Amino acid sequence: MGKDDTRRLIPRTDRLLAHPELQGLRGRLGETVIRSIIQEIQDQARSGELAPEDVEPEILAAVASREATSLRPVLNATGVIVHTNLGRAPLSKSAREALLTAAGYVDVEMDLPSGMRSRRGAGVRQALLRACPSAEDALAVNNGAAALLLATSVLAGTREVVISRGELVEIGAGFRLPELIESAGARLREVGATNRTHVGDYKSAMGEQTGCLLKVHPSNFQITGFTSGVSVSELRSLADEHHVPLVVDLGSGLLSPDPVLPVEPDVASALTAGADVVIVSGDKLLGGPQSGILLGRAEIIARMARHPLARALRMDKLALAALEATVSGEVTPVTAALHADPGRLRERTEALAEAVACVVVEHDGRVGGGGAPGVLLPGWAVRLPESAARSLRTGSPAVLPRVHRGACLVDLRCIPEDDDERLAAAVRAALAQAGEALGTGGS
């Protein structure tokens, strides 16, 4: 490096670390993160991408804007309530407060009066049994797939799990339930055809190698036309005849019937119809944190709780606290969005459209997250130019709209009413950026 090389002017690491502003930010970011930011920006200067005199202000700006987590809050303007790419269910106020409580030392496995160790998840169990009296016992693990894995591992072992071909579900990212079940050693016994399965198909498959009957609700697709299936009550009679347990995986998370979703199955109805164990996901229509919930007969739930897999699949204290608060607390954001008042939703949409000088169009929302496929939730959206979508996604706050047929649609169904003004400001900013881009690129 020659004496005229401008790289000599790049501020040294030790001097930058001693800068008063960086010292003040050390309570929010760790030393390793700050050093990595300094290194990255110094390297930009060494490569000529940045002038040496700009290094210090760039570092100060980068450290000041960096958060401890890379996750960004997003306003969900898609109309999809349980949006998998946005973390599925947004938590209720009670659940968020419970997370803060559980962040410190808590009596998650301690009986304070006696000073003895207690059962983990006792509060969640009690909350679930209050919410679903049809169940004798309850157990929560870390997600729905874990609950299915535990159930089939305990009840079937290396024997056969009998299931209809039409229920061999694949969900997001290529994840297939059959492969999950077989991964623990159980063998699948497929019966029936893709579109039609009868009781006789199950009967012909039953034998000494049958570990359990499994019925999976195909929650993310529909088969229509020439179809037939076997009900839980019909499978109950068959399970009793052959002395095997009946597991029903509903997935979507309804504990009891919901009039908005009349064809969506629920835990209470499945238990009443004869299921020994029902599995649902806590982060779908239940509206809570990621979790897999098993409800059913006390003897079977107890066997699952004692199995070694239960330890590997257990929930941490944060998720336990949030799940208990979800079940015991106020109406969740998921339920509120599902039951949004049509009149108020239209008023808010029209107010946004007027504020940003755009038009209102009819727009159907969705449940999402593999729940209620094909069910439309009639509503409205503000129609923006498609070019505004990227600016909305990358703005502050970040807003995720729906891009459909050459338009950017902003649906307020999942937007908390308190955020309406923030949303309007974000839309105005995105429209301004889109206009500038069009002005620059036009002839």
Give the gyration radius of the chain's Cα atoms.
Answer: 27
Residue of 307, 305, 284 lying closest to 125 (CA atoms): 305
Q: Are 250 and 266 in contact, with CB atoms under 8 Å apart?
A: yes
Say which CATH class 93-330 falls into: alpha beta
442 pLDDT band, cuts 50/70/90, is very low
293 exposed, middle or buried (CB, 10 Å; 0-12, 13-18, 19+)?
A: buried
Residue 213 sits at the vertex; the CA angle it makes with 211 and 217, to the nearest 5 degrees, is 140
Per residue in 388-433, pLDDT (tens digit) is: 999 999 999 999 999 999 999 999 999 999 999 999 999 999 999 9
Q: Which pLDDT does position 112 carry in this prediction?
A: 95
Cα 278 to Cα 4, 22, 137, 145: the distances in Å are 74, 53, 11, 13
385 exposed, middle or buried (CB, 10 Å; 0-12, 13-18, 19+)?
A: middle
Q: Which pLDDT does position 176 carry in this prediction?
A: 85
Q: Rounded CA gap, 19 and 17, in Å?
A: 6
Q: Inform me whether the pLDDT recorded for 437 exceeds 70.
A: no
Q: Which pLDDT does position 356 carry in this prediction?
A: 97
What average pLDDT does the structure give for the chain?
92
Share of the chain above pLDDT 90, in %: 78
Q: Which pLDDT does position 3 carry in this prediction?
A: 53
Q: Which pLDDT does position 220 carry in this prediction?
A: 66
Q: Rounded CA gap, 177 and 246, in Å?
A: 17
Q: Which pLDDT does position 223 carry in this prediction?
A: 77
Q: What is the secondary structure of 116-130 as a DSSP string?
A: EE--TTHHHHHHHHH
DSSP 23: H
Which is higher by pLDDT, 441 or 277?
A: 277
Three-class SS state of 188: strand
Q: Inform me whether the pLDDT recorded for 441 exceeds 50.
A: no
Say which CATH class 74-83+336-441 falls into: alpha beta
- The residues spanned by each domain of the chain are 11-65, 74-83+336-441, 93-330
Q: Inform me whether the pLDDT recorded for 379 exceeds 60.
A: yes
Per residue in 245-254, pLDDT (tens digit) is: 999 999 888 9
Q: Which pLDDT does position 438 carry in this prediction?
A: 59
The rounded Cα 231 to chain-centroid distance in angstroms is 28
Average pLDDT over residues 27-50: 90
Residue of 239, 152, 229 lying closest to 197 (CA atoms): 229
Q: Inform me whether the pLDDT recorded for 2 exceeds 60.
A: no
Q: What is the secondary structure of 315-341 as a DSSP string?
A: PPHHHHHHHHHHHHSS--HHHHHHT--
Three-class SS state of 49: coil
CA dihedral (111, 137, 151, 149) positive or negative: negative
Q: Which pLDDT does position 27 carry in this prediction?
A: 75
Q: Rounded CA gap, 288 and 290, in Å?
A: 7
Which is higher by pLDDT, 217 or 383?
A: 383
Q: Inform me whether the pLDDT recorded for 78 exceeds 60.
A: yes
Average pLDDT over residues 117-132: 96
Q: Which pLDDT does position 346 carry in this prediction?
A: 98
- pTM above 0.75? yes
DSSP 80: B
